[in-house]
Amino acid sequence: MTIDMSQFYQVFFDESDELLAEAERLLLELDIGDPSSEDLNAIFRAAHSIKGGAATFGMTDMTEITHVLENLLDRIRKNEMELKAEHVDVFLAAKDILKMQLDGHRSGSAVDQDAVNDIKLTLQKLAQEGGRAVTPPPVTLAVAAQVAETVAQEAEQALSTDATKQYRVQLPELPEKDVTALSEELALLGTVEALPAVGKCHVLKLSTEESLDNIVAICSFILDPDDLVITELEAATDSSGHTKAAASGKQQLLLEIPDVADKDMATLVSELELLGKVTLQPAAGNLQSLWLETEESRDSILAVSSFVVDADKLKISERGDAVTLAPAQAAPAKAKSLDEGDFGLFDSSEAKPASAAPQPEAKVQQGEPVENKRVAPRRESDKAVASQETTSIRVGIEKVDQLINLVGELVITQAMIEQRTSTLDPMLHERLLNSVGQLTRNTRDLQEAVMSIRMMPMDYVFSRFPRMVRDLAGKLGKKVEFVTNGAATELDKGLIERIVDPLTHLVRNSVDHGIESPEVRTAAGKNPIGRLSLSAGHMGGNIIIEVSDDGGGLNRERILNKAKSSGLSVSDNMPDSDVWQLIFAPGFSTAEQVTDVSGRGVGMDVVKRNITAMGGVVDIRSASGYGTTISISLPLTLAILDGMSVRVGDEVYILPLSFVMESLQPSADDVKDVTGQGRLVKVREDYLPLIPLYQMFGIEPLHREPENGILVVLQADGKKAALFVDELVGQQQVVVKNLESNYRKVAGISGATILGDGGVSLILDVANLLRSSRQLIAEPSIH
Amino acid sequence: MLEAAGSKAESQSAPPGAAQGENSEFLAFTLGSEEYGIDILKVQEIRGYESVTRIVNAPEFIKGVINLRGIIVPIVDMRIRFKLGSPTYDQFTVVIILNINGRVTGIVVDSVSDVTTLSPQQIKPAPEMGSILSTDYLIGLGTLDDRMLILIDIDKLMTSSEMGLIETIVADI
């Protein structure tokens, strides 16, 4: 029976990804001077789990690296070696290599073999250095040799006889697959031989240079260490462990059964197999014989056998300790002889049962509770494992999206019912209206719950930065303290994935341009260690993500000069906020020199574009000498937005509320014509361009004069404009539907939604409107 | 009622293959005085006309979009597009909802008559017929007793740049 392993690959990949990420996080958090043993253990476990998985799937390259890694970690966690900064660096590099190998296995991407070998050698070197300091050299050599796995099998064998010890590991009752898994685990420590089972307990012989503790640690992944019996064998034990097995309470008994039918024999064998291992011997005449290896007493055997054969006729003889031949070899040879006396080595069976008699009851009684005790803890641990597994499930994103769509439909239907029942007489239809009210509440709850499925903590993004900042700061010779806040803040998965790149860019920028070198900082009277903080939090219906550094701040003069030289229209008395927005212009970089980190001027505009595409807004605050904060405001999700419905003529449109600043009815005096083309409206101290929606969309409006209608002040891309509509209808949450799935993109429209009455309403693309209005109306000045 | 007829037609049409040599079923509808036929397998359902939401700056024959059980579906008035019949909208106006490769579109026609089965022998190649509908978009002419159906290759027509329903093709031109 072969199992198709490929179905488990994905699980292994996902798990390894998580483990690697976890290991990296722990490594970064490690306090070099005083590493917490818990963290070290966790890192060790991660390495070990990956090794186990990789070995199972035959990914030997990963097994090799993890094995070396594991050895080093193990010695560190046992305080046999001191943790040094270089270790952490190497471990991080090893993690990268493992990640590369993992990706290689997953998607067939290229694996840099040189890098793999480099890291293997580095790890081995570290293991040797550390070993010399603490442990006796031969063992270290053995470890290194084994670790490299370059040593030929013979050499390893030779080593194992010198430096290794042999252990007899008696396992508790375990399913076959666990035993196999365990043997494979142990095989990584040394050579494993299966010895004949004792009752239902498997026995392994392990030759290894690892300590007893290690063996127990490995076994403890699969079973309760208390159930484990490990005894050390003399190094020179001959390859047959049978004698030892016998000595530990197991007996090899020869049963001779005369005059028995084949059918009865079969029954007997199956009965006896319950007691231990049965080896059938060739029948001699009508005398059947078999070997039974068991812990049970003779009385038990007699009791079992008596169901099938007359107890008097059954002969049980014990095999002497002196026999060194395996029974399977010995017996067939000897069984040829019909004469029982020829065996000579065995005592007469009649005498033995009597001498064994006093034991049986005690044994049987003992056997039962032991069995129970063994089973109980297993079940408990099974339960613990199960409960851990059920805390999260992996579900395809399309399933979640489907669920969200369906709930969206439900919300619309519910709104429809609500709208239709609202005209009913509340006195006559009290009960119906109550039920509708309840439906409304339940629908809201359901919607919230379903939306939360897609939500992921920001930690998913934040967790990748400590490493990046550390590497970058090291490369640039800067000292940076990295702090995160609000990592638990949740954001839609779709947004989370899209925010990674812009954030990476901003963090890089902060380390490269923002934070100064330690000398400059000291000269400026600042702490030589720069501080970079990444925070996330809710504000209104938005998520605010801020990248903040305490570096030099943006240089207003330099930005203005650069802008002038690149031909952007700027004036010296622009407000700071407008100057800062200039850095989002394509090709804009004020870095004095281009580094491989940043400075090429590609990026900030891409950052801005990506964030705008997500419906977000980027804002910069900066003070010279005190640092820069870049603040990104994002909607909670893309699937649902808060909208303001506005009417023009017969049409109702939805404006995303995030763009709406305010709405007002202007007086006729505040509206000015500019060169007969466009119109401006004075809103407090600002003159804003007026966008008449009816003109842009060619609708017959109710009002043509702004003072009769309503102006909605919109802000997008840092530009403000006033949209002229007939009236405001209301504010509501709408489910965004894609117009392009069955139609095509329409300029000025970002999507559609379904209103409470079942009708469709289009959602306005505010940024696009503002842009096209500028083309429609002759470019008005903004201030 | 119309919807029921549509779904019935759909279920009836399950077995016939569009393969050559086999009979195929066509949904017959009228535009003005002419009778047209389209492959029944492309028809999702038949509905009455309901108010649509106008799409800004769209050509006149694209009436707008409707909400079809949560899906936003554009509605094309074939009468306007091909200048046939009078574009009036009342309770008898019929919308055929098409599903072409997963894209759902509605077309407005004057009326839907029946579903007819045509054998390959009954389908004659279409002659060049003026400018209303290029023969590129015709499968042929179906003859059934004294009726003549103009069989439209609706798949080709709806994805064509002439309809302007799909962006990529528009962009190509």
Residues A119-171: tens digit of each pLDDT: 888 887 777 775 544 434 344 444 444 444 443 444 444 444 445 667 777 76
Q: Over 90: is that where the pLDDT of B1 sits?
A: no
Residues in chain B closer than 8 A to A737 (CB atoms):
70-72
Q: What is the pLDDT of residues A202-235, one digit of tens each?
A: 677 777 666 666 666 666 666 666 666 676 665 4
What sign has the CA pseudo-torsion A324, A330, A335, A337?
A: negative
User: Using the beta-carbon criterion (under 8 Å), do A698 and B54 form an inter-chain contact?
Assistant: no
Domain of B17 in residue numbering reads as 2-163
For range A325-350, the mean pLDDT: 44
A746 with B165: Cβ contact below 8 A: no
- Cross-chain Cβ contact A749/B164 below 8 Å: no
Q: How far apart are CA A121 and CA A89, in angstroms?
A: 14
- For residue A203, the SS3 value is strand
CB contact under 8 A, A697 and B53: no
| Per-residue pLDDT at B171 | 39
Report if residue B173 sits inside a domain: no
Amino acid at A195: L
**In this complex, is the C-beta atom of B170 within 8 Å of any C-beta atom belonging to chain A?**
yes
Mutate to test the interface with B, among A744, A753, A762, A765 (most CBs of B within 10 A): A744
Q: What is the dihedral of CA A492, A496, A499, A505, to 10 degrees?
A: 160
Please report, as a single letter, which amino acid is at residue A59. Answer: M
Q: What order of strands is seen across the sheet that includes strand B43-48?
A: B43-48, B94-100, B103-109, B71-77, B62-68
Return the pLDDT at A342.
Answer: 47
B134-162 pLDDT tens trace: 777 888 888 888 888 888 888 888 887 76
User: Which range among A17-21, A32-36, A47-51, A488-492 shows the weakest confidence by mean pLDDT?
Assistant: A32-36
The 10s digit of each residue's pLDDT in A238-292 is 444 444 444 445 667 776 666 666 666 777 777 777 667 777 776 666 667 777 7
DSSP A517: P
Place A558 in a pLDDT band, splitting at 50, 70 and 90: confident
B/e letters for A49-71, b = 16+ CB within 10 Å, e = fewer, are: bbbbbbbebebebbbbbbbbbbb
Distance CA A606, CA B32 (A): 54
Residue A237: its pLDDT value, please?
41
When the pLDDT of each residue in chain A is averaged and rounded to a whole number, the result is: 72
Q: Does A121 touch chain B (CB under 8 A)?
A: no
* Contact residues, chain A, for B73 at CB < 8 Å: 742
Q: Does A738 touch chain B (CB under 8 A)?
A: yes
Q: Which two tokens stand for residue A262?
A: 């084949």
Distance between CA A92 and CA A23 in Å, rounded? 9
- Mean pLDDT, residues A310-333: 52
Contact call for B53 and A752, based on CB within 8 A:
yes
**A684 and B CB contact within 8 Å:** no
Flag whether B172 is in a domain: no
Distance between CA atoms of residues A83 and B60, nearest Å: 76
For tokens 């046939």, the residue is B84
What pLDDT is recorded for position A677?
A: 63
A-chain CB neighbours of B66 within 8 Å are: 760
Contact between chains at A737 and B104 (C-beta distance less than 8 A) = no
Task: Give pLDDT, residue B46.
Answer: 92
Tens-digit pLDDT profile for residues A591-603? 554 444 444 445 6
Using alpha carbons, select from A9, A17, A13, A3 the residue that is nearest to residue A460.
A17
Q: Is A651's Cβ below 8 Å from some Cβ in B?
A: yes
Kindly identify which residue of chain B lies nearest to residue A737, measuring between CA atoms: B72
Identify the pLDDT of residue A365.
44
pLDDT of residue B96: 93
The residue ranking higher by pLDDT, A607 or A2, is: A607
* Interface contact B53-A759, CB threshold 8 A: yes
Task: Give per-residue pLDDT as tens, A715-742.
Answer: 876 678 888 889 888 887 787 787 877 8
Residue A247 pLDDT: 44
Helix (H, G, I), strand (E, B) or coil at A173: strand
Chain B: nearest CA to A49, how far in angstroms? 45
Confidence of residue A541 (pLDDT cuts 50, 70, 90): low
Instruction: Tell me if residue A715 falls in helix, strand or coil.
Output: strand
Residues 61-80 of B with CB under 8 A from A: 64-67, 69-74
pLDDT(A746) > 70: yes
On whether any CB of chain A is under 8 Å from the CB of B161, the answer is no
Residue B170 lies in a domain: no
CATH H-level, domain A457-635: superfamily:
Histidine kinase-like ATPase, C-terminal domain (3.30.565.10)
Which residues have C-beta within 8 Å of that of residue B68, sequence separation ≥ 6? B47, B97, B104, B106
Q: Kindly report the nearest CA distance between residue B75 and chain A, in angstroms.
A: 10
Per-residue model confidence as pLDDT tens digits over A641-700: 778 889 988 888 998 887 888 888 888 888 887 775 678 888 888 888 888 888 888 888
User: B101 and chain A: CB distance < 8 Å anywhere?
Assistant: no
Give whichever of A8-22, A379-393, A621-635 has the largest mean pLDDT.
A621-635
Pick the CATH number of A640-776 from 3.30.1330.10, 1.10.1740.10, 2.40.50.180, 3.30.70.260: 2.40.50.180
Structural domain includes residue B72: yes
In terms of C-beta density within 10 A (0-12 exposed, 13-18 middle, 19 or more buried), how is residue A461 classed? buried
Residue in A405, A743, A752 nearest the CB of B165: A743
User: A644 CB near a chain B CB, below 8 Å?
Assistant: no
3-class DSSP assignment, residue A233: strand
Separation in Å, CA A165 to CA A150, A154, A235, A237, A304: 22, 17, 6, 10, 40
Dist. CA A165–CA A237, nearest whole Å: 10
Instruction: Please check whether residue B44 touches A, CB under 8 A.
Output: no
CB contact under 8 A, A759 and B51: yes
The dotted CATH code for A1-151 is 1.20.120.160
Taking the CA of residue B147 and the nearest CA in chain A, the distance in Å comes to: 34
Could you tell me the end-to-end alpha-carbon distance of chain B, in angstroms, rounded to an integer? Answer: 41
End-to-end Cα, chain A, rounded Å: 78
Please indicate, yes or no, if residue B36 is contained in any of the structural domains.
yes
- B-chain residue closest to A761, CA distance: B53
pLDDT more than 70, % of chain A: 65
Q: Note whether B112 contacts A: Cβ–Cβ < 8 A.
A: no
State whether residue A760 sits within 8 Å of chain B by CB: yes
Give the pLDDT band (50/70/90) at residue A438: very high
CATH 1.10.287 fits A397-454, yes or no: yes
Give the C-alpha separation, A484 to A535, whole Å: 5
pLDDT interval class at B13 (50, 70, 90): very low
The topology (CATH level 3) of A250-362 is Alpha-Beta Plaits (3.30.70)
Residue B137: inside a domain, yes or no? yes
DSSP letters, A278-301, are: EEE---BTTEEEEEEEESS-HHHH
For residue B108, is it within any domain? yes
Domain count, chain B: 1
Q: In this structure, what token pair is assigned to residue A392? A: 């999260």
> Is B95 domain-assigned?
yes
Q: What is the pLDDT of residue A325?
A: 41
What is the pLDDT confidence band of residue B106, given thresholds at 50, 70 and 90? very high
Whether residue A75 contacts residue A59, with contact meaning beta carbons closer than 8 Å, is answered with no
Taking the CA of residue B90 and the nearest CA in chain A, the distance in Å comes to 18
- Domain holding B107: CATH number? 2.40.50.180
Separation of alpha carbons A764 and A263, rounded Å: 86
* pLDDT, tens only, B77-96: 888 888 776 778 888 889 99
Contacts of B164 in chain A (CB under 8 A): 744
CB contact under 8 A, A754 and B54: no
CB atoms B57 and A698 under 8 Å? yes
Query: What pLDDT digit, counting tens, does each position of A439-493 carry?
Result: 989 988 998 888 788 788 888 888 888 888 888 888 888 888 888 888 888 888 7
